[in-house]
Amino acid sequence: MRKSGILLPLFSLNGNYGIGTMGKSAFEFVDFLHSSKQTLWQLLPLTPTSYGNSPYQSPGVFAGNPYFIDPELLYEDSLINKNTLHNFESENTEVIDYGYLYLSRLPLLKKAAQGISDSDSNYLSFCNKESFWLEKYCTFSALKEINHMLPHCMWKYKDASDITDAKELISTHKKIQYLFYSQWLNLKKYANDKNIAIIGDLPIYPAYDSSDYYFAPDMFIKGRVAACPPDSFNAEGQLWGNPVYDWDKLKDEDYRWWKERLKNASTIYDSIRIDHFRGFYEYYSTKENRTAKEGCWSKGPGLDFCNMIKKDFPELDIIAEDLGFLTNDTRQFFRDSGFATMKVLQFAFDENDSEYLPHNHIRNSVVYTGTHDNPTVTEWICKARSDTLTRAMDYLGASSVYTLPDYFIRGAFSSVADRAIIPLQDWLKTGSNSRVNTPGTAENNWQWRIKDSLLTKNLIEKISHYTRIYNRIREE
């Protein structure tokens, strides 16, 4: 069945608490999707962030971001009082101030966690279900606090068992994770009950400064870090800095860590986009303290890993991110994997017969006007070369650059691809001030938030109309 949906990070929702949360604005956005006849909500990773605020550099790939916990829901559950609720509020509702959240949010969440009994049956059930990762992540978080938030390579105190207050602090972090998971699963159920499926996002690597690395350093190759070679995003390449897997060791362990990760993801999402999926075929890395340009390619687990997913998770819907530099071998790998791949229209018009042009799409794919790493279509129009812009207008049939954003969406919706996902900014025709991320830069990313006033009845009718005429309508 042909489907369509919207890409919007949870952090971009509006509200009075400094960042999008899993409260009223999230439920209202689900209602907006339902009214617009959409069936998909694609998110960015829901994991905690650290320095740089990127959800792709998380201190725990299983954990939920505490910033997303909704204070009003905590108040409704009698876990905080009105005064504490007021303290959650932020004057800045236009963009996310991560510095403010860093200083203010955790102490308030700790107050809420105090209201959860150690013997609460739902809490104990959560701890048991998430035992593979929960104790380790919360121990890492406690040690992080005790060591004044320094990276673990600079820690003075490395073992929680030697610290008097660590046990209580670990328990508090467990309860905060319980609050996150409880609120998220309630929101997901609400979406599913309205026939909205959630597409989650899994970064391929954890961060170096993470519980995943701290408690299992042997799972990674010592002295090498992930990078991206020079490409259309960045002529110098990108030095990601994540540890890279020792795939021989992971295979010897029957991919247990990845199985646990996919098992967890399959409970909190309906579909999963795995970022940088080509890294399973071959991955690019460089030595520590070297540039991205000095890196090299190495073989990953290939189809053996894909076959593991199909065998152990036969119902799991995977979207394999296949953007960037591709060789004929990697293209064949994606075809052989059988997983859906991605088609981005902003990449379609730099050459005459690009694989991203709609007439070259395949059904088992997801088409986007752009992704979180792209400019909005409006910004793309302002910066595109004249020949690229001419090709786009000729191909899509737009008579004016002012109408071109609509024709981009029409091009995506008319594609043969089973799924079409449009970033909300492209429906709103917003410009560079609403860009989510600029690869290779560290400033002003992951900050954009919507205004509820933009989600109008006219927009609902427009999205519904496009959905009907291109036969991506939700079956009632």
The set of catalytic residues is 275, 321, 373
Lateral strand order in the sheet of 271-274: 317-320, 271-274, 197-202, 40-42, 3-7, 419-423, 365-368, 341-344
Entry field: residues in the chain = 476
DSSP 8-state code for residue 366:
E
Report whether 56 contacts 208 (CB < 8 A). no
The encoded tokens of residue 464 equal 């519904």
Q: SS3 breakdown of the chain: % helix, strand, coil, rounded to 5?
A: 45, 15, 40
Burial class (CB in 10 A: 0-12, 13-18, 19+), 122: exposed
Q: How far is CA 322 from CA 206, 218, 384, in A?
A: 19, 28, 23
Q: Are strands 3-7 and 40-42 parallel, antiparallel or unpaired?
A: parallel
The C-alpha angle 116, 122, 127, rounded to 5 degrees, equals 85
* CA 451 – CA 464 distance, rounded (Å): 20
* CA 42 – CA 423 distance, rounded (Å): 9
DSSP notation for 287-346: ETTS-GGG-EEEE--THHHHHHHHHH-TT-EEEE---S---HHHHHHHHHH--BEEEEGG
* CA 434 – CA 447 distance, rounded (Å): 9
Handedness of CA 232, 204, 66, 182 (dihedral sign): positive
CB atoms within 10 A of CB 473: 17
* CA 320 – CA 341 distance, rounded (Å): 5
